[in-house]
Amino acid sequence: MVNETVPRQATRKEVFAVVLGAAIEFFDFSAYATFAVMIGNAFFPSDNAFVSLMLSVSVFGIGFVVRPLGAIFIGSYADRVGRKPAMLLTMLFMTIGTGGLVFLPSYATLGLAAPILLVVLRMLQGLAWGGEAGPATTFIMEAAPQGKRAFYTSWQIVAQGLAGISAGVIGFALTQLLTPEQLAGWGWRIPFAFGLLVLPMAIYLRRNLNETFNVEENTVATSTRSLLTEVFSKYRRLVLLGIFILCGSTITQYFLNYMTTYALSELHFAPGMAMVSTILIGVCVVVFSLVGGWMADRFGRKFTIIVPRLILLLLLLPGLEIINTFPTPAVFFSVITLFAALQCISGSGVLVALCENFPRYIRSTGFSIAYAFGITLFGGTAQIVFSWLIKATGNPVSPGYYLIAANILCLISVALLRERPRASRPVTLKPLVNR
């Protein structure tokens, strides 16, 4: 049994530093999803618009393939050296990847080298985010005040919402300020340029974080290999449950992120109106993730995960039918707001339940692996599956069946997960740092 010390509570500035860094990384993925059609045309020109879109979203998926590598090496680095160094390393990787997207010439200029380099950049960014999730989530949870672990952890999801809002606002503004030709030619690069400008601030703030993890605690696993051995020998069931729990949560979230493309290609909304969906979902993520975090602290993790997801499960198909029967902006935005609210309330419970089930000495490694594999297997393929299902069946409601199957698997896995007592915290032995 490894003794755990209770770290001092995080200051607001420290929580902001972690959330800002995570938001920038999420912003990059949100911006790519938002501008998938334009990026496809720039790097994968084709007479067939569907082929161009599929290649673009496939590259989006490739960014997920290397996430498990980031989880293994950077996640374990956080358990060996500390949460802070690991989070700084991910910022460095993201800076290189985002800068490349700003300046990489298109297919018209570089030919075949352009899409190849795009793949390399997406892999580098995937490596960064695969290593970011574990250290950032564990840092916030470990430094949370007693009884507020879920609420504090929910700020990691809030980061996604802030990223989505930013991507949507910039995307909407660009559709109003630029012609379609300008947007397709170079305008889609502007969001990535904004991300590149903010990255130095995030790096500076993270450099001034106080560590929450005392590396001297970890006398059981002191190398990446020993950490992995510890995780997979003692906690492989928890890792598998985490992956299956993330199945429903991830696929649903990426379906919501797909709504801009859905509104453009299936409902034939104007680009500006389609971009509003990204903003709306971002607002829902910010508001309802915090609601979910509060509920998970107040009513328990399982209750907060299961009840909203059951309601979502029942409403998925009717909601999609309504959207396609009455394809007006008012109907569309009402339905996706309801979907997003239920998804985000449930999602807050998922993060904290998984994170706190791993002991602190392997928490970043274990959580990173479960999270990265769950996101890679289900998030990285989600947009490809959605696009393929609609094309293969000719039915715009067909993704709903995939969502239902994923959420059933999620609920079964949650039922098998052990819930730690809400008041449970290790006994304080000594502070890690002086304030």
> What total number of domains does the chain contain?
1
Within a domain: residue 219?
no
Task: Give me the long-range contacts of 252-256 (CB less than 8 A, separation at least 24).
Answer: 252/312, 252/339, 252/343, 252/403, 252/406, 252/407, 253/160, 253/343, 253/347, 253/379, 254/378, 254/379, 254/382, 254/383, 255/382, 255/386, 255/399, 255/403, 256/281, 256/336, 256/339, 256/340, 256/343
Convert 298-331 into a string of H (helix), E (strand) and C (coil): HHCHHHHHHHHHHHHHHHHHHHHHHHHHCCCHHH
Which domain, by its residues, includes 170?
12-209+230-416
Per-residue pLDDT tens, the chain, 435 aa: give them: 444 555 556 677 788 888 888 888 788 877 777 777 777 777 877 666 676 766 776 776 677 778 888 888 898 888 888 888 888 888 888 888 888 888 888 887 888 888 888 888 888 888 888 888 888 888 888 888 888 999 999 998 898 888 878 877 887 888 888 888 888 788 888 988 988 888 888 888 888 887 776 666 665 656 778 888 889 889 999 999 999 999 999 999 888 888 877 888 788 888 778 878 878 888 999 999 999 999 999 999 999 999 999 999 999 999 999 998 998 889 999 999 999 999 999 998 999 999 989 988 889 899 999 998 998 888 778 878 888 888 889 888 898 999 999 999 999 999 998 876 654 444 333 333 333
pLDDT at 167: 79
Within a domain: residue 23?
yes
Spatial separation of the C-alpha atoms in residues 368 and 231, rounded to whole Å: 11
Within a domain: residue 220?
no
Spatial separation of the C-alpha atoms in residues 55 and 108, rounded to whole Å: 16
Spatial separation of the C-alpha atoms in residues 364 and 78, rounded to whole Å: 6
Per-residue pLDDT tens over the stretch 2-30: 445 555 566 777 888 888 888 887 888 77
pLDDT at 169: 82
pLDDT at 47: 65
pLDDT at 9: 65
Within a domain: residue 427?
no
Within a domain: residue 217?
no
The residue behind tokens 């797909």 is 258
DSSP-derived 3-state class of residue 433: coil
Within a domain: residue 68?
yes
**What CATH number corresponds to the domain at position 314?**
1.20.1250.20
Q: What is the pTM of this model?
A: 0.80
- Chain-centroid distance, C-alpha 167: 14
Q: Any idea what DSSP says for residue 378?
A: I
Within a domain: residue 187?
yes
Within a domain: residue 424?
no
360's CB contacts (< 8 A; 6+ apart) are 2, 4, 138, 142, 213, 217, 426
Q: How far is CA 255 from CA 23, 47, 94, 398, 400, in A?
A: 19, 26, 24, 12, 9
